[in-house]
Amino acid sequence: MENSQINEKELEKRKLTENARMEKWNIMLTNFDNYYKNNFNKLKSRTRKGIPDSIRGLIWKYYAGVDKYKEKNPTLYQDLLNDETKNNLELESVILKDIDRTFPKHTLFKDKYGLG
């Protein structure tokens, strides 16, 4: 009985910590470009601590500068999809490496050719 109480307390503590992290990231997201320019060290520190799963994709879009690429070439993504001169197997192997590194604990990506 005592162990379950400890586990519940620990779980509640983790939830509070995760919620606090998420709140900090939400504040940064309201004006990400400004935060990136003026508070880069804090952003770097929080990134190293871990980006919450729920916003990881959005944050990496910012880091990769997706919007700037879209402005310069709005059809780039579709053009790359349609370019059959690329070796699709080579691209797939790169993607598989990144998925494993990006989502090491995600259940959909645990198996090489699983649901994810």
Q: What is the pTM of this model?
A: 0.55
Q: CB–CB of 70/76 below 8 Å?
A: yes
Specify the number of domains making up the chain.
1
The model's pLDDT over 80-89, given as tens digits with 9 standing for 90+, comes to: 778 776 667 7
Would you say residue 89 lies in a domain?
A: no
Q: State the residue range of the domain holding 56.
A: 2-83
> What CA–CA distance (Å, rounded) separates 33 from 56?
16
For residues 11-22, give the mean pLDDT.
89
Would you say residue 53 lies in a domain?
A: yes
Would you say residue 113 lies in a domain?
A: no
Would you say residue 96 lies in a domain?
A: no
More confident residue, 49 or 98: 49
Q: Residue 87's pLDDT is what?
A: 65
Would you say residue 6 lies in a domain?
A: yes
> What CA–CA distance (Å, rounded) separates 25 from 9?
24
pLDDT at 37 over 60: yes
Please report which confidence band the pLDDT of residue 35 belongs to, taking 50, 70 and 90 as the band edges.
Answer: confident
For residues 25-31, give the mean pLDDT.
89
Would you say residue 16 lies in a domain?
A: yes
